[in-house]
Amino acid sequence: MKKYVFFLGIGGIGMSALARWFRANGYEVSGYDKTATPLTEKLTAEGIAIHYEDAVDNIPSAVRQHREQTLVVLTPAIPKDHQEWAWLREQGYDIQKRSQVLGVLTQGRPTIAVAGTHGKTTTSSMVAHLLHHAGVPCAAFLGGISVNLGSNLLLPEQQPTNNQQLATNIPVVVEADEYDRSFLTLFPSVAIVTSTDADHLDIYGHKEALVESFRQFVGQIQPGGTLIINHTADPSVAAAAPEGVRVIRYGLSPEEGPELYAANITAEGHLFRFDIHGPQGTIGGLELSVPGYHNVENMLAAACVAQLYNLSAEQLRAAVAAYRGVKRRFEFILTAGTPAAPKVYVDDYAHHPREIEAFLRSVRALYPGRRLRVLFQPHLFSRTRDFAPGFAESLSIADEVVLLDIYPARELPMPGVTSELILSQITAPEKSLQTKEEILQNVETNPNFDVLATVGAGDIDQLVPRLKNILDIRWNGAEA
């Protein structure tokens, strides 16, 4: 019987959700991470012991003294030369990847798994919100901080305590991550696939291997289950659904051929109004206050799941209207000016060319004719190498592009792979490579923009509060 859970990389968004789950279930939770962040500080405030220096002596004594009662949860981001990981291996601890633990926690439970190379965090948060808002008991492990929940973890109202596990009939919403084929630990009753665009080629080598992993994932849907798949996904993925699994394709318009689509889409400021047409009927008058046509598309898939759980049209309308998004997904940091001459600062986690294109086109649609400056931090050397032309093309939607150096995450530098690869191919009227301090200085001294966007999955979010403060003083004459 496990009593202690120790996390190597506890500050990761998926890892921290698991840490919160174990603590809510009465386990003694602790962990290591490389640096302190607002998320780790919140975990510490919730009673979880965290250290930031890699040394065996820093592992809590209870963990070191009770090997058989300890579960170690590992993130792939931990480097191979990590001292604590090496010691725990040598001592024979039970070490599991995050994905393996998630597989165990969801085993035997109705699982709603949201997969896709982009869109899965927003879509899974939408599913969890719609069910929770309508009073359907459910749990959710999310890959971002839901604004509605204020967390990346949702537990049913009747939380399990004293190591009593979640009731086996309660649905669990999980983000199914294709990185390192992690999602193959899941056997969902309902699966959403938002996209199968090429990504993580450092793991897969080529797109066909990535698509094959999605086929395997879809092949694990439970008998009698449902696959809700974007019409742009590789057709072979839907074809891999087991016999008896219902397949529903979705997209923005019926001309694209999906059974589930949106109609009468209108945008008014940040508010998108639309109707849903699909195999489960038509629901009109939906209002989504998180902007972007891609978010209307994400909500189609989430609403389809809600209909599977018998939400009425009234419940669905109310839940969609109440949805407030995910931190760092089209998050409005600051707005000022007038409707005719708006000043806006928006932040987004986009780190794939398709995501950036969808985000920037939505920004352009919201603020036509306004001058747009984009600050982008590339994430991973391998992704920069593989998709530099795509990044350059999507970023060129802006009037001005400022690039930071590549955020390495789990990777070591690669010869010849720098942000210059992207910069040299950008066709925007203005482009530059700057440090964080130079960015802050230039926003203060050269505010030649109406809309500012910070974009990326690395640590560019550290700039957000400082940029907000500078702009609030300039636009509103007040300290943020």
336-369: pLDDT as tens digits: 999 889 999 999 999 889 889 989 998 998 899 9
pLDDT at 163: 41
Residue-wise pLDDT tens digits, 161-215 = 444 456 678 999 999 887 777 889 999 999 999 999 766 556 666 878 889 999 9
Cα gap 352→378, rounded to integer Å: 9
When pLDDT is cut at 50, 70 and 90, the band that residue 256 belongs to is confident
pLDDT at 285: 95
Percentage of residues in the chain with pLDDT exceeding 90?
75
Cα gap 32→24, rounded to integer Å: 19
Res. 157: pLDDT tops 60: yes
For 170, residues 6+ apart whose C-beta sits below 8 A from its C-beta are 109, 110, 137, 138, 139, 156
Res. 316: pLDDT tops 80: yes
Rounded to an integer, the average pLDDT of 384-400 is: 96
Q: Which pTM was predicted?
A: 0.84
When pLDDT is cut at 50, 70 and 90, the band that residue 269 belongs to is confident
Rounded to an integer, the average pLDDT of 383-408 is: 96
The answer as to CATH 3.40.50.720 being correct for domain 4-97 is: yes
Rounded to an integer, the average pLDDT of 98-123 is: 92
Res. 225: pLDDT tops 80: yes
* Mean pLDDT of all residues belonging to the chain: 91
Res. 158: pLDDT tops 60: no
Domain at 331-476, CATH class: alpha beta
Say whether 107-322 and 4-97 share the same fold. Answer: no
Q: Which of 188, 189, 152, 170 is nearest to 21 (CA)?
A: 152
Cα gap 218→212, rounded to integer Å: 10
**Which amino acids are annotated as binding site for ATP, given as ranges?**
116-122
When pLDDT is cut at 50, 70 and 90, the band that residue 480 belongs to is very low
Reported as type and span, the H/E element at residue 7 is: strand 4-8
Rounded to an integer, the average pLDDT of 240-268 is: 92
pLDDT at 164: 43
Res. 328: pLDDT tops 90: no
The H helix count followed by the E strand count for the chain is 16, 21
pLDDT at 242: 96
pLDDT at 12: 87
107-322: CATH number: 3.40.1190.10
The total number of residues written for the chain in this structure: 480
Start-to-end CA span in the chain (Å): 49
Percentage of residues in the chain with pLDDT exceeding 70?
95
The residues spanned by each domain of the chain are 4-97, 107-322, 331-476
Q: Helix 381-395 vs helix 353-366: angle between axes, to the nearest 10 degrees?
A: 30
pLDDT at 373: 97
Spatial contact of 376 and 404, defined as CB atoms under 8 Å apart: yes
pLDDT at 378: 97
pLDDT at 95: 96
Rounded to an integer, the average pLDDT of 40-51 is: 95
Spatial contact of 87 and 56, defined as CB atoms under 8 Å apart: yes
Six token digits for residue 252: 């923005």
Cα gap 410→26, rounded to integer Å: 32
When pLDDT is cut at 50, 70 and 90, the band that residue 464 belongs to is very high
Amino acid letter, 234: D
Rounded to an integer, the average pLDDT of 104-110 is: 91
